Amino acid sequence: MNYRRKDIHLSLTNDQLDDLISALEAHRDGFRKLAADAKLGFGLDASYWGGRVADVQNLLDTVHRQAESGNIESHTAEREDS
């Protein structure tokens, strides 16, 4: 399957990075619950939700890999008060 990709460049504080990771983990876990519910006959097919879990996990892995490898640049910006 051919997916269109988007490049996103973010400038995040450590707290913002932690928040992003936490939000992605919560999102992934929500899909896991939907997959479990689907196995009981509720909602969409479990394989759909399993695929969504994998998509979000891949995104999480990318964020972790970028943060650990130093590819997420660290900048200190000086702000001028107007």
pLDDT tens profile 27-65: 999 999 999 999 999 989 999 999 999 999 999 999 998
What is this structure's pTM? 0.74
Query: Quick one: pLDDT band at residue 1, thresholds 50, 70, 90?
Result: low
Query: Quick one: pLDDT band at residue 12, thresholds 50, 70, 90?
Result: confident
Distance CA 9, CA 38 (A): 35
The number of distinct structural domains making up the chain is: 1
CB 67 within 8 A of CB 49: no
CA proximity to 57, closest of 79, 35, 40: 35
In a domain, 16, yes or no: no
At residue 78, the 3 state secondary structure works out as coil
In a domain, 55, yes or no: yes
In a domain, 56, yes or no: yes
In a domain, 61, yes or no: yes
In a domain, 10, yes or no: no
- Which whole-number Å values give the CA distances from 33 to 30, 43, 46, 58, in the listed order? 5, 11, 10, 18
In a domain, 41, yes or no: yes
The whole domain housing 41 covers 25-69
In a domain, 79, yes or no: no
Name the amino acid, one letter, at 5. Answer: R
